[in-house]
Amino acid sequence: MAIQTGVGDQAIRTKKKWPKIVGITAAVLFIILIGAGSWLYMQVVKPLPTIEGEVTLEALDMPVSVWRDEMGVPHIEAENEKDLYIAQGYVTAQDRLFQMDLSRRQASGMLSEVIGEAALDTDKFFRSFGLRRAAEASAELYSDEAKEVLSAYAIGVNAFIREAKEKGALPIEFRILGYEPEEWSETDSLTIGKYMAFDLGGHWEGQAFRYYLAQNFSEDEALELFPSYPDNGALVIEELKAHKLDLTDRFLAAVIPDPFNGSNNWVLSGDKTETGMPILADDPHLGLATPAIWYETHLQSPEQNVTGVIFAGVPGIILGHNENIAWGVTNVGPDVQDLYIERRHAEDAYLFEYMGEWEEATVYDELIKVKDEEDVHYEVVETRHGPIISEFAHDDDDEYALALRWTAHLPSPELEAVLKFNKATDWDSFSEALESFHTPAQNFVFADVNGTIAYRANGLIPIRSKGDSLIPVPGWTGEYEWEGFIPWEELPTVVNPEHGFIATANNKIVNDDYPYHITHTWAQPFRQQRIYDVLGSGDTFTTEDMKQLQNDIHNLQAEEMLPILLNSVEDSAELRDEDQQALKLLREWDFKDHKDLGAPLIFHLWMQQISDELFKDRIDESMMELFDNRAGAVDELIRRADRGEKSEWIEAQGGIDQLLLTSLQATTDRIVELQGRDANDWNWGEFHSVAFAHPLSSVAPLHLLFNSEPTPMSGSRVTVMAASWNAETGNVTNGAGWRGVMDLSDLSRSEHVVGPGQSGHVRSPWYHNQIKDWTQAGYHKTLLNPEEYQTESKHLTLTP
């Protein structure tokens, strides 16, 4: 009993102490949480830029006014050009410094220094591609005026970097990664420009993929997946088989531009508009992320008054309008990259054969700094045709290697052109500026206040002595060299067409009788056809109509393909209840890719599954990302089958009927797993949504800090409102990060939207504030007249 009493007393004493211990622990945890919360709050709030009052910038000659409007768009007013670009550099860095630093690091192959060994292969890839070397070589081409602009911009960026370091107010991303940004240089801006040429591609990966096809599949199977049937197809395959280089796993770490990078643009003459003056619309399709690729800015000085968007880290305005003209672009997508099969000397890895002689390659010793690891010395080997890119992730020196020749490796002065665009007053002055814009080749549309509308496919497009960039070619024979470029005056050009409009959507831009080769690989035709259908309807249009067209979700691919798909499966005895439900929704569909409908979900996942069934277990997964124009190839295989033509790929799946049934059932199984058995609950937007992922959000739980909540999205890859998605997750990753509509009857006001917003600071009111507009066809006006935009704007004076 005594023992029991003792235990009981201890229990009583413990019970009396427990509330006290709990209270103390809770208090400590509360203090820790408050402290951690306060620390985190300071980390994300302290870096917010100063947008009111005065800031001293010693490099300025005169005060500069910066007005930020309700959307966070800076309106920069300067008394001279030097001060204007110093201010642009400073202001852009205020909002986007981490993005700018990450962009220059990726393009330069310097991510390992701050991320670690995980980025080493990516750095090797970009060191091989040589974007920074190309940027350095380009600097000498620039005029003194352009060099002064680059210098002034860098001065502004560096003024902000020093200020942020001194105040301990660098963006939180730098604190998370544990480093501080180095000074900005003129080369950094040019390197970002070269990266955009890389991101808009030139089809090297398609050539590598076709080489792989020739090595691993029958002649018929390989040629079916070529974008066009080559002359002497059997001979082409035979020649490719003769030079054996195993590309499997070679490019696993390669950064391949999104195959759905593209754009829409169009311009209407006054005959097609209610105001009697032109309207121009542009919406480039690139990666969707936080922050946006595009940064909207208004620049005003005695020499210019221009507004639009630019890549953070580059001075000027690349797309937009001034008081006299408006312009926009889409990607031409020409064949400006050629892979050469180089033959290496058996005893000397730096010697390559050329026309019976052995030539010594240029070797660059690239020092790659790696966080928490030893520095890595990496050799880039460059032949007369360009850098070897087939060995960046391999140390072995094969008898054959692939070298890349690319127009963007040549010195080129694109920024010179951009600065001239900003001050152009008519088509003559704008087209003169185009002569300096070499890469990436772009479809420029133009309008001016005189009523002129115009178009040019502008950029360097090679003329080849032999071959047409369909496949890799022998580099040692001398037969496949570039002889020059399509003469500038012979590039496709249209001025004031009779039908009253010009539109492009990465579509084929020339007739078959055009004397020069541009490319084999054009985008699927559905966006372009929809734009033509609307603009060619005979109506007159307003800016509201143009905004609606930019957000149009009519799916012409479904209109073409769905009758073929339904005809093949709807009488099958093997259809299950969920398959019948899916077919019913498809039959009732109006071909609108609306987020609240189930039919778009079924159609797009079915098309994806068809593609997967055709190639899974046959094409090595490591090569699939190199499959250039895969979507177009699948479309064409379905068309051939519908015409009764034999397809080796479809026959391998049991014929078209079996392929479509198998893929339909796999699709409905997947949808049931995702959204349940009741087809009334199926909807596109639950799968197809956008979160504007931040670069650091892949590391949990940082996505909770940086990313928006997923927003359901209408549209798709083939609608005018482009919204491409990750096939596994449904996350929308590519689309029109900026949309602009410009009315030449009143260029003092233009209408824009930048998804997800202007600022890169997570606590800024302009961080994700445009997501609703971006997903729901909303726009804001960006004004040129000070008396309009200064009202209720935040005003910052930059003083010398």
Given a contact cutoff of 8 angstroms between Cβ atoms, the answer to whether 314 and 419 are in contact is: no
Other C-beta atoms closer than 10 Å to the C-beta of 233 total: 14
Q: Is the per-residue pLDDT at 13 higher than 50? A: no
Q: What is the pLDDT of residue 608?
A: 98
Task: List residues bridging with 353 in a β-sheet.
Answer: 358
Q: For residues 666 and 609, give the distance between their C-alpha atoms in angstroms, rounded to a whole number.
A: 7
Q: Is the per-residue pLDDT at 776 higher than 50? A: yes
Q: For residues 135 and 187, give the distance between their C-alpha atoms in angstroms, rounded to a whole number.
A: 6
Quote the mean pLDDT of the chain. 93
Q: For residues 550 and 755, give the distance between their C-alpha atoms in angstroms, rounded to a whole number.
A: 14
Q: What is the pLDDT of residue 11?
A: 40
The b/e string for 456-483 (b: 16+ C-beta within 10 A; e otherwise) is bbbbbbbebeebbbbbbbbbbeeebbee
Q: What is the pLDDT of residues 121-133, one digit of tens each?
A: 999 999 999 999 9
**DSSP secondary structure string, 530-564?**
HHHHHHTTS--B-HHHHHHHHT--B-HHHHHHHHH
CA distances in angstroms from 740 to 56, 283, 332, 774, listed in the order given: 34, 6, 19, 11
Tokens of 652: 């391998």
Q: What is the pLDDT of residues 687-705, one digit of tens each?
A: 999 999 999 998 889 999 9
Q: Residues within the annotated binding site for Ca(2+)?
A: 335, 338
Q: What is the pLDDT of residue 31?
A: 53
* Torsion of the alpha carbons at 482, 488, 490 and 496, rounded to the nearest 10: 150
Q: Is the per-residue pLDDT at 110 higher than 80? A: yes
pLDDT band for 15, please (50, 70, 90 cuts). Answer: very low
Q: What is the mean pLDDT of residues 43-49?
A: 82
Q: What is the pLDDT of residue 10?
A: 40
Please list, in sequence order, all residues whose beta carbon lies within 8 angstroms of the beta carbon of residue 635, skipping any fewer than 6 positions away: 524, 557, 561
Q: What is the pLDDT of residues 494-531, one digit of tens each?
A: 999 999 999 999 999 999 999 999 999 999 999 999 99
Task: List residues bridging with 734 in a β-sheet.
Answer: 287, 724
Among candidate residues 65, 112, 263, 793, the one labeled active-site is: 263
Given a contact cutoff of 8 angstroms between Cβ atoms, the answer to whether 206 and 521 are in contact is: yes
Q: Is the per-residue pLDDT at 230 higher than 90? A: no
DSSP 680: G
Every domain of the chain and the residues it spans? 1-45, 556-712
Q: Is the per-residue pLDDT at 6 higher than 90? A: no
Give just the sign of the alpha carbon dihedral 581, 585, 586, 592.
negative
656-675 and 599-615 helices, crossing angle to 10°? 130
Q: Is the per-residue pLDDT at 606 higher than 70? A: yes
Q: Is the per-residue pLDDT at 277 higher than 80? A: yes
Q: What is the pLDDT of residue 342?
A: 96
Q: Residues within the annotated binding site?
A: 335, 338
Q: For residues 476 and 361, give the distance between their C-alpha atoms in angstroms, rounded to a whole number.
A: 13
Other C-beta atoms closer than 10 Å to the C-beta of 52 total: 12
Architecture of the domain spanning 556-712: Orthogonal Bundle (1.10)
Does 263 participate in catalysis according to the annotation?
A: yes
